[in-house]
Amino acid sequence: MALDHPINSLGFAKPPAQTRVVVAMSGGVDSSVVAAELAGEGYDVVGVTLQLYDHGAALAKKGACCAGRDIHDARRVAETMGFPHYVLDYENTFREAVIDEFADSYLAGATPVPCIRCNERVKFKDLLETAKDLDADCMATGHYIQRKMGARGPELHAAADRTRDQSYFLFSTTPEQLDYLRFPLGHLESKAETRALALRHGLPVADKPDSQDICFVPDGNYAKVIEKLRPGAAEPGEIVSVDGTVLGRHDGVIHYTIGQRRGLGIGGLADPLYVVRLDVEARRVIVGPKDMLATRRVPLREINWLGDGDFLAGGPRRIEVKCRSTKPPTEAVLHPISDTRAEVELLVAEEGISPGQACVFYAPDSTRVLGGGWIWRGA
């Protein structure tokens, strides 16, 4: 049976003008280009920006998404391209779903990744539902990741530009969400192409610097934010070696992360020492030699499976994994324990793997993202 209209670039069998797409606009160049490109193709674009935290504090901050300046920039892009733009107050949702867990995780000695939780619990949940309430056919974002149609439906794939790839931060995207989402920048080969498109559309954000920090953590100072959120959190304690020898004092466990070497304040030792464990209850930072950081078995929970077939019934399988966003995928064996728990066996041990981080699964010799889980205790 012939289609009434050819498939458009977003995958719908109707003209762009009859296809409504909500674009999540952070105010940066990436999401602005997505909105401008779709508007230029004739789609019914609706721009939405989320106000996620205190606006007044944000105005004085540069280098992070979702601040007051960014809301203003998103609005200017919408005016330039002639489509409606809305700002939604998600401060309470963001605090409850992202910031509170971030603070509590750090206090528990973990190393959280709040950007993943924001995508999972705010942008791809509440904002996605808002897009549906607006009768949008889909929601588009400026993330560098690809959505490809496979034999069983849409698949998640790493970006063509591996230096910009954001698949680590989007592993918890569910199949249902993936069906509704679109990522128009994922196929681009470089950020230069994105900026060239911004210039072509005459966007006021064409030369805007990329955001670097977590949006609610000014200057990357996690401890300062946590002290503000949880007064009294930075209680002093001891820095001890793995054999229990007291080597020094610290001003709060929240100032340390697994694998840290610099800034320990215990110089004068023959061999360098690293943070190998955080004992939050005893307020102790435990340090040891580098080889103690090496891990081969990584326990995971909150598994999100995007591969083919049943996760648990499939049994052990060879995959590639990333336990840090900045490292390339490495070979591993995935051992399912339940529908939501698993253990990853790394073929080559890695250093500095910490509870609170994500472990993301990839198909071997492929760009396909198979999901992932959260590292939940020291291996």
Q: Give the span between the Cα atoms of 280 and 88, in whole angstroms.
A: 37
Distance CA(31)–CA(328), nearest Å, equals 25
- Strand intervals (E) in 58-143: 85-89, 138-140
Q: How many CB atoms lie within 10 A of CB 274?
A: 20
Question: Which is catalytic among the residues 66, 115, 215, 359?
Answer: 215
162 vs 130, 144, 168, 197, CA distance in Å?
A: 31, 9, 11, 20
Tokens standing for 158? 């790493």
How distant is the alpha carbon of residue 124 from its chain centre? 12
Beta bridge mates, 148: 155
Give the Cα separation of 151 and 280 in Å (integer): 48
Residues recorded for the chain: 379
**Quick check: 356 and 374 in contact, CB under 8 A?**
yes
H or E stretch covering 182: strand 181-182
- List of E strands, 82-205: 85-89, 138-140, 145-150, 153-158, 181-182
Q: Residue 123 and residue 48: Cα distance in Å, rounded?
A: 11
Look up 215 and say whether it is catalytic. Answer: yes
Active-site residue 66, yes or no?
no
Q: 118, 138, 323, 359: which is the annotated catalytic residue?
A: 118
Tokens of 76: 């200017």
Strands 181-182 vs 274-279: parallel, antiparallel or unpaired: unpaired
Give the integer Cα–Cα distance in Å for 331 and 247. 37
Residue 318, Cβ neighbours under 10 Å: how many? 11
Cβ count near 30 (within 10 Å): 26
At which residue do the structure tokens 């705010």 appear? 122
Active-site residue list: 118, 215
